């Protein structure tokens, strides 16, 4: 339990050991943030994953008797936030579940229980005593049910998954935890969870622009407090939602006998040393795909390399591309490269995958038989120059 403002408390769960969040690597763990507002009618904003329930209950008990809770706001049905509602209701059986109409549908389908629902829509409000909460539905940021809750009294936006990060920490405010790493984790969170919904994010940001916000309290990770950090994360969300990338390049590959790595190494030297382009290199045999998609989001140029195995794209590269396709990146320029033994036509599959991922292929792919010669590697200079000029 931590006090974050007068009568507003964090009562969430720190999931220190989490290393995988439905396929997304979480090397720093995560948190499921629930917030208790101790007004005349106490309200809990979101709950926690089922196995964090005891921490949630103990946190609430440090502040008040759970039976006083009048409302449980469910901003989003996904079970990292709704997973403790059922057990909590045993301690506050009269509490009403406040959610969007899609939220009610989702909760009914998940838990099969006809709780006391209070369905709210855009601009609806809830009087707690001193405070009045208002609700902003943000459908598809990132589920159909998603909504935000705003307390004008506290100037707090309870933003649920939006502006979150997977980062377990005993501190509660982003600046206290090390602001640079929290912005990095926020970028990774956006790339892996929110990226497909850019136009919906833009609409949500428009609807937030009139609110006076001193604090953004997300449902994962650290709270944004200082004005400059609040403005920065909102501006980053605008940039990411618009699929605007920096003049950066990323080379993503896997290799069987080092040939595709040799091509990657040469591409890096050309991009970085000859053209001065900020370039990242990701080896899919050692780097998780959720890191790779973050680099894609932040780069205008995306080069993808694969060896041919069994007449097709190498499995790790195929897995990455399937994941990337679902996240719908836009405005990328790229080139395919790789090494083959006897079937150069397999690279058609790689190029088609890349096009499906929203990557515009510039020029012809560079594919070399078995081991690239010095001459082969020198031939990369021409397409790299075209890519650099396109920036």
Burial 50-59 (b: 16+ CB within 10 A, else e): bebbebbbeb
Binding mask 103-122 for ligand FEO (x = CB under 6 A): --------------------
Is residue 220 part of the annotated active site? The answer reads: yes
Kindly tell me which of 103 and 358 has the beta carbon lying closer to ligand FEO: 103
Binding mask 279-298 for ligand FEO (x = CB under 6 A): --------------------
Told to check if 76 binds ligand FEO by CB under 6 A, we report yes
Nearest approach in angstroms of CB 296 to ligand FEO is: 21
Nearest approach in angstroms of CB 335 to ligand FEO is: 34
Looking at 15, 55, 161, 349, which residue binds ligand FEO (CB under 6 A)? Answer: 161
Q: Per CB under 6 A, which region of 76-84, 234-242, 285-293, 332-340 contacts ligand FEO?
A: 76-84
Looking at 38, 39, 55, 78, which residue binds ligand FEO (CB under 6 A)? Answer: 78
Is residue 22 part of the annotated active site? The answer reads: yes
Sign of CA dihedral 138, 143, 144, 150: negative
Active-site choice (38, 46, 80, 154): 80
DSSP 8-state assignment for residue 382: H
Neighbours of 345 (CB within 10 A): 11
Told to check if 102 binds ligand FEO by CB under 6 A, we report no
Active-site choice (24, 220, 288, 351): 220
C-alpha dihedral (221, 227, 228, 231), degrees to nearest 10: 80
Is residue 272 part of the annotated active site? The answer reads: no
Is residue 142 part of the annotated active site? The answer reads: yes
CA–CA gap between residue 85 and residue 87 (Å, rounded):
6
Sign of CA dihedral 15, 18, 20, 25: positive
Is residue 58 part of the annotated active site? The answer reads: no
Looking at 33, 75, 219, 316, which residue binds ligand FEO (CB under 6 A)? Answer: 219
Is residue 190 part of the annotated active site? The answer reads: no
Nearest approach in angstroms of CB 142 to ligand FEO is: 6
Residue the block writes with tokens 């209950």: 57
Nearest approach in angstroms of CB 88 to ligand FEO is: 17
Looking at 15, 39, 80, 145, which residue binds ligand FEO (CB under 6 A)? Answer: 80
CA–CA gap between residue 311 and residue 348 (Å, rounded):
11
Binding residues for ligand FEO, total number by CB under 6 A: 8
Nearest approach in angstroms of CB 4 to ligand FEO is: 19
Is residue 13 part of the annotated active site? The answer reads: no
Angle CA 270–276–281, to nearest 5:
60
Give the E-state strand segments of 112-241 in sequence order.
Answer: 117-119, 125-127, 132-137, 147-151, 156-160, 215-218
DSSP 3-state percent helix, strand, coil across the chain (nearest 5): 40, 25, 35
C-alpha dihedral (66, 68, 71, 75), degrees to nearest 10: -30
Distances (CA, A) of 3 to 63, 173, 219, 339: 10, 11, 16, 57
CA–CA gap between residue 391 and residue 250 (Å, rounded):
13
Q: Per CB under 6 A, which region of 72-80, 121-129, 177-185, 358-366 contacts ligand FEO?
A: 72-80
Is residue 167 part of the annotated active site? The answer reads: no
CA–CA gap between residue 17 and residue 35 (Å, rounded):
22
Binding mask 302-341 for ligand FEO (x = CB under 6 A): ----------------------------------------
Which residue has its beta carbon closest to ligand FEO?
A: 78
Active-site choice (15, 78, 185, 376): 78
Bridge partners, residue 381, by sequence: none
Told to check if 15 binds ligand FEO by CB under 6 A, we report no
Look at residue 54 and give its three-state secondary structure: helix
Q: Per CB under 6 A, which region of 1-9, 10-18, 77-85, 367-375 contacts ligand FEO?
A: 77-85
Catalytic (active-site) positions? 22, 76, 78, 80, 142, 161, 189, 220
Residues within the interface to ligand FEO (CB under 6 A):
76, 78, 80-81, 142, 161, 219-220
């Amino acid at each position: 339990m931590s006090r974050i403002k007068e009568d507003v408390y964090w009562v969430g769960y720190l999931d220190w050991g989490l290393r995988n969040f439905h396929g997304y690597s979480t090397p720093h763990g995560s948190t499921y943030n629930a917030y208790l507002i101790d007004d005349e009618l106490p309200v809990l904003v979101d709950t926690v994953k089922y196995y964090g329930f005891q921490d949630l209950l103990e946190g609430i008990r440090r502040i008040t008797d759970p039976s006083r809770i009048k409302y449980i706001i469910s901003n989003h049905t996904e079970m990292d936030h709704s997973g403790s509602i059922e057990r909590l209701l045993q301690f506050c059986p009269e509490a009403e579940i406040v959610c969007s109409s899609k939220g009610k549908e989702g909760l009914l389908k998940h838990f099969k229980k006809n709780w006391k629902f209070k369905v709210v829509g855009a601009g609806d409000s809830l009087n707690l005593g001193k405070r009045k909460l208002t609700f902003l539905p943000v459908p598809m940021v990132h589920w159909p049910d998603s909504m935000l809750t705003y307390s004008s009294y506290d100037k707090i936006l309870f933003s649920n998954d939006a502006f979150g990060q997977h980062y377990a920490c005993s501190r509660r405010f982003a600046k206290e935890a090390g602001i640079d790493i929290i912005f990095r984790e926020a970028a990774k969170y956006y790339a892996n969870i929110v990226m497909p919904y850019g136009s919906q994010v833009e609409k949500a940001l428009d609807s937030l622009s009139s609110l006076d916000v001193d604090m953004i309290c997300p449902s994962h990770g650290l709270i944004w407090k200082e004005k400059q950090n609040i403005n920065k994360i909102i501006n980053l969300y605008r940039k990411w939602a618009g699929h605007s990338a920096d003049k950066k390049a990323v080379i993503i590959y896997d290799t069987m006998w080092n040939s595709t790595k040799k091509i990657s190494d040469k591409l890096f030297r050309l991009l970085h040393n000859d053209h001065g382009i900020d370039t990242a290199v990701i080896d899919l045999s050692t780097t998780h795909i959720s890191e790779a998609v973050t680099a894609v989001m932040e780069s205008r140029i995306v080069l993808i390399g694969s060896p041919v195995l069994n007449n097709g794209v190498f499995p790790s590269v195929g897995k990455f591309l399937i994941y990337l396709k679902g996240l719908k990146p836009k405005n990328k320029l790229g080139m395919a490269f790789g090494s083959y033994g006897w079937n150069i036509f397999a690279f058609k599959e790689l190029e088609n995958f890349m096009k499906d991922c929203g990557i515009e292929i510039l020029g012809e792919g560079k594919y070399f038989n078995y081991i690239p010669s010095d001459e082969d590697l020198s031939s990369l200079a021409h397409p790299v120059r075209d890519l650099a000029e396109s920036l």
